[in-house]
């Protein structure tokens, strides 16, 4: 299965982030991307970097300076950018 961004109309397949396990934050993600219910989410669903603001990432500086290969989300980050 090709993992791709869960946000409708987006085909990003780089910088993907799994849904958080924390139920409250997970609910905020679902609301953000327009999914009504957790059960509508396919297993392994992911959201790409494009939907998060710069300050959602714990290591933006390291990433930009080339010390990190990929961005890591802060625990409480919620996608807010480029949503339907
Ligand atoms: Zn995306």
- 72, 57 contact by CB (below 8 A): yes
- Centroid of ligand 1 to alpha carbon of 7 (angstroms): 5
Coil, helix or strand for 78?
coil
Domain tally, the chain:
1
Tell me which residue range forms the domain holding 64: 1-84
Predicted structure pTM score = 0.86
pLDDT, tens digit, 9 for 90 and up, residues 1-42: 567 888 866 566 678 999 999 999 999 999 999 998 888 888
DSSP state, 11?
A: -
- Centroid of ligand 1 to alpha carbon of 13 (angstroms): 8
């Amino acid at each position: 299965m090709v993992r791709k961004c869960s946000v409708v109309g987006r085909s990003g397949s780089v910088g993907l982030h799994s849904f958080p396990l924390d139920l409250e934050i997970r609910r905020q993600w679902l609301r953000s991307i327009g999914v009504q219910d957790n059960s509508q989410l396919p297993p392994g669903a992911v959201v790409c970097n494009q939907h998060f603001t710069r300050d959602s990432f714990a290591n933006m500086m390291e990433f930009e300076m080339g010390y990190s290969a990929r961005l890591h989300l802060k625990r409480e980050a919620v996608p807010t950018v480029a949503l339907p």
